Chain A
């Protein structure tokens, strides 16, 4: 109750349900990403689901708690990490296989339909999921951080939180 951000956001019911749901949403997103090479899904869908989990916290509990769950700096670092992993996998394809984005880990036929199969594809899926999820969270945080207010006959962008007080 001493939390300065405790009054932000929506009602107590929404916040409680969000606290319960966000773990399940993250779990579901991680499942979709990790099993992308076996079942429908993959890095894109799973990444957007992960972004939805963070955005739910962001919208229900306000920007303060939302940024404590995933800060803007951490989001941009994870975004860059996803892009770096993806290009590094591509570059390793040159080093080990001779071609950019070569799948340099061969999969024996008896390993099909297992979680740990199909070479670099799960790694790429995780990288894409990180990239898509964090960048979409960032764009929503940026878009909803400011809004236009009329002050003294002039319009300018102000931070939402300052405007409320």
Chain B
């Protein structure tokens, strides 16, 4: 509990640095620090699957951010939006925070899972008790994502495919060549 609070506090500090710093490279590295601390927090929360995934995804995320954006010529960031936009933004954040605090009253106290509210018919309890017999997988998380709820994983694969397809379509150059005519042609030849 104390360790978790300390980790969360460090994550908060890293997030504030990432949002507020004027150097883009330090912002990206601070996000990396937040992600690695999150991975450690997952280990303390009894989720080693997620900890491994978060760790490697964070590495890849850093590589993509640094490789694709930081090598541009400008790395310094200047200022915030004008005063009115800033006031509206802060008001929105305060509103969302108040709504979140109101929602937390419905949450179970920390350390008590949601499935404990339905002691007889919670789906998670069924997965835990019968997962090994019904699927044969010792890792119940894998049993859930690939057997009980494989539709989720199918949807996830579709979303990932669409995201990659979108990135591909955004980065290709042939469409621009048709629209811009000759200008991009010489760019290709160069």
Contact = CB atoms under 8 A, between A and B. Distances in A.
Q: Are A and B close enough to touch in the complex, i.e. CB under 8 Å? A: yes
Contact of A117 (B136, B154, B188): B136
Interface of B: 48-49, 51-53, 56-57, 59-60, 63-64, 67-68, 71-72, 132-139, 141-143, 145-147, 150-151, 153-154, 157, 160-161, 164, 167-168, 171, 173, 176, 183-184, 187-188, 190
A113 interface: yes
A125 B142 contact: yes
B91 to A, nearest CB: 36
Contact of B64 (A131, A140, A154): A140
A42 to B, nearest CB: 5
A62 interface: no
A101 B150 contact: yes
A158 B190 contact: yes
Given A119-B136, A139-B167, A128 B142 contact: no
Interface stretch (A3-11, A13-21, A48-56): A48-56
Nearest to B132: A112
B68 A121 contact: no
A147 B73 CA distance: 11
B52 A41 contact: yes
Given A36-B139, A151-B190, A86 B157 contact: yes
Interface string A41-81: 11111001101100100010000000000000000000100
24 contacts: A37-B139, A37-B142, A38-B137, A39-B139, A40-B51, A52-B56, A59-B67, A86-B153, A101-B147, A107-B135, A111-B136, A120-B146, A124-B150, A125-B146, A131-B160, A135-B160, A139-B167, A140-B63, A142-B167, A142-B168, A143-B167, A146-B171, A151-B190, A156-B183
Given A38-B137, A135-B164, A157-B176, 19 more contacts: A37-B138, A37-B139, A42-B142, A52-B56, A55-B60, A59-B63, A79-B161, A100-B151, A107-B136, A111-B136, A124-B153, A125-B146, A131-B157, A139-B64, A140-B63, A143-B64, A143-B68, A156-B187, A158-B188
B150 A52 contact: no
A132 B56 CA distance: 12
